[in-house]
Amino acid sequence: MSPLYIARSHEIAARALDGEMMIMSVRDSTLFNLNESGTIIWQAADGVTPLEEIVARRICAEYEVEPAEALQDAENFVRELAGHGIFLVSDQPLAAAAAKSGEQA
Amino acid sequence: MGELATLAHERFIEIGEMSILVRTDSLDFARLLEDRYGSFVSAPVPRPAFELDIELAPLGSLSEDEDVDVRRESGCWLIQRGDFRAELNPKTCRGWVRQTENPYSIDAVLRILHSLILAEQGGFLVHAASAVRNGWAYVFAGVSGAGKTTLARLAPPDARLLTDEISYVRPRDSGYEAFGTPFAGELARLGENVRAPLAALHLLEQGPENRLEEVSEAEAAQALLRNILFFAHDEELVGMIFQTVCDFVRRVPVRRLVFTPDARVWELIA
């Protein structure tokens, strides 16, 4: 399986509230409330780190989950959000896209 | 559009400290505005926030069965519904409305215009009743059927009703302020043209008893976003409203008000 690279889209507005990341697609106004692991993936989506590495280093290290299952869950998650323009997903690094983000602390 | 010189009748409609000059060549329509907006029709001001020229179309020439469509083209807001067309230029603060002689079309234009201008100022219009008691404003947000009008009816005599349908909220240096609006729901009564600092926002939910529940900032923001008047599918506007809501829930107490139709609910509120 080829590596999957993810970056945060520019077409979003995002804020952390009570430690939960809230993200709104400015394209279709859909609102997403990320849980802890979703927030970890969001924050690590730099466009150059493969999703597999993010899951192994940040999710599996933090939670007691089986790596293959965690990766599958993560992939489903990013593909669903990519469908709403929240994530950019590619089998190539997305360094330029990762340089900016609408996120504010 | 008709020549400006022929639009002889001017009415200033001031809501939320924002005066909008409405010009028409029809005395009947000018009187209709006075009837519709009551105490919200003000004396002339030298610099209104926006000027609208009304072109009246013959009755029956426009249909009434379309959803409103708001989009930005070449810097102007184009608004279209079956019963009216409007173009608003935010740079010149001028616009025109083509509608038949009725109060509903201009009402929709005013709501949209206020929501667009307020968004840039960090404020919003929200589906909510609101009232002032003991010098503080309380806002009660909820979708249709959540109990906005019921709660307004249950308000004690010393409460001043700002609206039973659409509340008007503006940021201030210290917190927010709520204003009365002429936008009425089932109560069919204009809100009082007064304002007060905002004490709290309650998310309405009917239940078997009266109680207040804490909600997280994220839940408050989600609920508020569902109730804010939001007409345009415009990326810049969506981003502004999202940030406004996140700022609001950090600065204003937001709670869920579970209530039963009983006047004692107001003992929990103020």
Residue extents of the structural domains in chain A = 5-92
Whether A13 has its CB under 8 Å from any CB of chain B: the answer is yes
SS3 call for B173 = coil
| Residue percentage of chain A with pLDDT more than 90 | 67
**B77 and B208 both lie in a single domain:** no
- For residues B203 and B224, membership in a common domain is answered with yes
B233 or B207, higher pLDDT: B207
Partner residue opposite A24 with nearest CB, options B217, B242, B250? B242
Structure confidence at residue A28 (pLDDT): 83
Over residues B106-115, the pLDDT tens digits come to 999 999 999 9
* A16 at interface of B, judged by CB pairs closer than 8 A: no
The reply to whether B130 and B251 lie within a common domain is yes
Q: Do B222 and A28 touch (CB under 8 A)?
A: no
Mean pLDDT of A14-25: 89
The residue of chain A nearest to residue B224, with distances taken between CA atoms, is: A31
Distance from CA of B220 to the nearest CA of A (A): 10
CA A62, A100, A15, B176: dihedral to nearest 10 degrees? Answer: 160
Q: Are residues B190 and B81 in the same domain?
A: no
Average pLDDT over residues B80-103: 95
Write out the residue range of the structural domain in which residue B231 sits.
124-269
Q: Distance between CA A46 and CA A97 in Å, rounded?
A: 8
- Tokens 């002889």 locate to B8
Pick the CATH number of A5-92 from 3.90.930, 1.20.120, 3.40.1620, 3.30.460: 3.90.930
Contact A28 B233 (CB under 8 A): yes
- B261/B225 same-domain check: yes
Nearest to A29 by CA among B78, B102, B241: B241
B145 and B77 share one domain = no
Query: Which pLDDT score is estimated for B36?
Result: 96
C-alpha to C-alpha distance for A52 and A30, rounded to whole angstroms: 27
Residue A19: band (very low, low, confident or very high) from pLDDT cuts 50, 70, 90? confident
β-pairing, B41-42 vs B9-15, is antiparallel
Contact assignment for B249 to A33 by CB distance below 8 Å:
no
B74-102 mean pLDDT: 95
Q: What is the mean pLDDT of chain A?
A: 87
Residue B6 pLDDT more than 70?
A: no
Which of B98, B120, B142 finishes a domain? B120
Where is the domain boundary, B57, B91, B120? B120
Task: Report how far residue B221's alpha carbon sits from residue B243's, in angstroms, rounded to the nearest whole number.
Answer: 10
Q: Are residues B86 and B181 in the same domain?
A: no
**Based on the structure, what is the number of domains in chain B?**
2
**List of chain A residues whose C-beta atoms are within 8 Å of the C-beta of residue B216:** 17-18, 20
Got the DSSP string for chain A?
Answer: ----EEEE-SSEEEEEETTEEEEEETTT--EEEE-HHHHHHHHH-EEEEEHHHHIIIIITTTS---HHHHHHHHHHHHHHHHHTTSEEEESS--HHHHT---EE-
Tell me whether A79 touches chain B (CB under 8 Å).
no
Residue A26 sits at the chain B interface (C-beta within 8 Å):
yes
State whether B85 and B198 are in the same domain. Answer: no
Site from A20, A24, A32, A101 to mutate, B interface, most B CB atoms within 10 angstroms: A24
Task: Indicate whether A101 pLDDT > 70.
Answer: no
pLDDT per position as a tens digit, A53-62: 999 999 998 8
| Residues of B whose CB is below 8 A from A31 | 222, 225
Query: Rounded CA gap, B28 and B30, in Å?
Result: 5
**Is A17 close to B233, i.e. CB distance below 8 A?**
no
* CB-CB under 8 Å, B218 with A33: yes
**B144 in the same domain as B22:** no
pLDDT tens profile B41-79 = 999 999 999 999 999 998 877 776 678 999 999 999 999
**ipTM, 2 dp:** 0.77
| Judgement on whether residues B106 and B131 belong to the same structural domain of the protein | no
Same domain, B13 and B95: yes
CB B79 within 8 A of CB B68: yes
Residues B115, B169 within the same domain: no
Q: How far is A68 from chain B (nearest CA, A)?
A: 31
Q: Cβ of A105 under 8 Å from any chain B Cβ? A: no
Domain boundary pick from B73, B93, B120: B120
Residue A29 to chain B, least CA–CA distance (Å): 7
